[in-house]
Amino acid sequence: MTPEDVLQFARERGAKLVDLKFVDVPGTWQHFSVPLHELKTETFVEGVPFDGSSVRGFQTINESDMLVIPDPDTAIMDPFTSVPTLSLVCNVAHPGPVGSKKPYSRDPRYIAKKAEEYLRSSGIADTCYFGPEAEFYILDDVRYKSTDNIQYVEVDSNEAAWNTGRNGGTPNLGHRMRVKEGYFPVAPNDTLQDIRAEMTLMLEELGIPVEAQHHEVGAAGQAEIDIRFNTLTKTGDNILLYKYVVKNTARRHGKTVTFMPKPIFGDNGSGMHTHQSLWKEGKPLFYDPDGYAGISKLARSYIGGLLMHAAAILAIAAPTTNSYKRLVPGFEAPVNLVFSKGNRSAAVRIPLTDNPAAKRIEFRPPDPTANPYLLFSALLMAGLDGIRREIEPSDHCFGPVDQDLYHMSREELSKRRSVPGSLDESLAALESDYEFLLEGGVFTRDLIEHYVDLKRAQADEVRLRPVPIEFALYYDA
């Protein structure tokens, strides 16, 4: 769309307000609204001012004046506001004369755009596609509190096995899923089909094609809606809109959604397996019918880059302390830094397909708490570094490995590297291995330093607090 098209789109749909959305460093949408009459064609160049000092990871108070500049291609009508509202995703910039406004180096969306430009300038490819599979839990109740003398959390799901003996104000009709048996059962066990269907249809109405929706393995309401792959920045936009739709649709039904990687002990965590491929002049570059699992030498080098830099990438791909309650060795988690065909126990899986256009690689450690713009950009930069350095994964004990890694002996597993065991370890890895992210000016040291500081402060918040299981283990010591 052009700015003129956006204004016409808004008028035709009776918009009264314009909601301006942008993303903070951790990866959460922020927003503010203005009356429609404040949106003019020049707004798409001049921007709208806001205070950058109150946004996580952005400016200090003495340098707080910032601008959001709407992207006309992101225009939609917000489906959740009672007042007709035009929604626009924005880029962030520093104030300045018209034509000289400088993009903000810590704007994750700007980093994604630079990553795509760097890919084109490399001559390796001109297009990168990303297809994330974000999982989440739909819960009926959540309560938590963290004060000096109180530490607790309680979640509930009407589908959960722990409710088989519930005796409350409504009849208990049974048909609850057993732990880890939430994958594909029909109604009446699956009570969330209609909510997921509503989410799916709304995503499609907003321009995000959906490939499938289903109940996931987690018995207490885990779900997955798979959206169609797209280019890097566009997929970042789509994931944030996806989260917005999923959370607010659940709220309409009196339920709540969490994308936490491990909200429930003893059942499956929620990941965001990320499919990737490179193309040039309309041709896929990851396909070779004679290669292992049908992938090309270029794809192997891309995988080599991913696995070589995996520890650093995990600081962005699994960016919370809770992430490492999902990525635990010995359980069904993609912690082993190897690649394999069709093997979901490997960090990198090559889906089995003979279609050249569908040949891709899947990086499985990420989870949906990641900032999608930073995640996809970091994955691309690692893969390009592997291609540039011609990293052969088998030269570094990265596989291929086709046996079930979950049933390997301890001696066999000791020969394989695994992902870091904590957020602190991942942040330390990023601090020692980030040069590949700086190529082409895509990431900046400033952004990486502020990101690490922000995440380390979160890790400290968790480390300082006692948790209930410690009382169960040690109170009577």
Fold observed for domain 3-104: Ubiquitin-like (UB roll) (3.10.20)
| In the chain, where the domains are located | 3-104, 127-474
Tokens of 42: 């020049």
The model's pTM is 0.95
pLDDT at 427: 98
Point out the residues that are catalytic: 51, 133, 135, 216, 224, 273, 344, 362, 364
User: Whose CA is closest to 365, among 404, 322, 310, 403?
Assistant: 310
Tens of pLDDT, residue by residue, the chain (477 residues): 999 999 999 999 999 999 999 999 999 999 999 999 999 999 999 999 999 888 988 987 677 889 999 999 999 999 999 999 999 999 999 987 766 689 999 999 999 999 999 999 999 999 999 999 999 999 999 999 999 999 999 999 999 989 888 877 778 887 888 888 788 888 888 999 999 999 999 999 999 999 999 999 999 999 999 999 999 999 999 999 999 999 999 999 999 999 999 999 999 999 999 999 999 999 999 999 999 999 999 999 999 999 999 999 999 999 999 999 999 976 678 999 999 997 777 899 999 999 999 999 999 999 999 999 999 999 999 999 999 999 999 999 898 988 777 677 777 766 788 999 999 999 999 999 999 999 999 999 999 999 999 999 999 999 999 999 999 999 899
Question: CA angle at residue 356 from 351 to 362, to 5 degrees?
Answer: 30
pLDDT at 280: 98
CA distance 251 to 427: 34
pLDDT at 96: 75
pLDDT at 145: 95
* Homologous superfamily of 127-474: Glutamine synthetase/guanido kinase, catalytic domain (3.30.590.10)
Q: How many angstroms from the chain centroid is the CA of residue 160?
A: 26
Distances (CA, A) of 407 to 273, 281, 333, 353: 22, 43, 13, 26
Q: Is the peptide bond before 108 cis (omega within 30 degrees of 0)?
A: no
pLDDT at 330: 67
Tokens of 443: 């990431």
pLDDT at 99: 61
pLDDT at 59: 82
Q: What are phi and psi of 267, to 5 degrees?
A: -125, 175
Question: CA angle at residue 468 from 463 to 469, to 5 degrees?
Answer: 90
